[in-house]
Amino acid sequence: MDSGFFKWIWRFNALAIALAMIGIGALVLWEIARDVARGTQARGVINIEAQTESGPSDIEESFSIGQVQRAGETSLLRFALTRTQTFDYGYSSKSTEHNVVNLGFVDPEVGQTRWLFDNQSRLIVQNEALLRQRNAESDQERRTYGTLLRIVTQDTNEDGRLSASDTSDVMVMKPDGSDIRTLFEGIRGQVQMQPYDRQTELLIFTDAEGTKAARLVLETLLVENVVLLGRPAPGD
């Protein structure tokens, strides 16, 4: 009888150990699956420092040529320089791709590239052509006055990376990349654009003071009439 009792205890312990091993195995598989799921690709993000659960990780970087197009009505070609980053994360890897960090201009007759910026430390998160008439029925009615850019230069939210979540600067330039100038600083989110009239573009954006509207004169690429859009008073 004692032998049967101890045999029952041994079988019970063996079953408990087996169940515990199954639980531990399932937990390990869950952690592996969670790390693999994290290993997705992202866009519009540049890691300043790759942080993992075990600390910083080395980042592998590469650059490539993105979209190539004619620079307005000029004889130049304009193309984007994109930056790709990859780093290990647990059982998998993370990567960010198609991050535009610079714009190049080249004359096909000469073949020499001129860069808009002198380094690749920025992130271009918005790139919009400034046209005379957006819904023109013919090319004769369409003229490119320049380009509006929204550029992130600092990790303002201190999350270790540059992204559209950081505040940005709004800049304009002529189609060939010349006369680049800053219109606004500390912008939060996307700049909304819509034609105001044939010579003016309406810009709507948000900064620390609130949402604003401004008119951009296409011929000069200068801003006029910046207006802070009012908010209802508390209790109204």
Domain ranges of the chain: 1-38, 39-228
Nearest alpha-carbon partner for 89 in 48, 31, 44? 31
pLDDT at residue 36, rounded to an integer: 46
Proportion of the chain above pLDDT 90, given as a percent? 52
pLDDT-derived band at 32 (thresholds 50, 70, 90) equals very low
- pTM equals 0.75
Return the biggest CA–CA distance within the chain. 103
- The mean pLDDT of the chain is 81
pLDDT at 34 over 60: no
Q: Which of 23-32, 129-138, 155-164, 212-221 bottoms out in mean pLDDT, i.e. has the lowest?
A: 23-32
pLDDT at residue 233, rounded to an integer: 60
Instruction: Tell me how far apart the alpha carbons of residues 195 and 41 are, in angstroms, rounded to a whole number.
Output: 35
pLDDT at residue 20, rounded to an integer: 62
pLDDT at 33 over 50: no
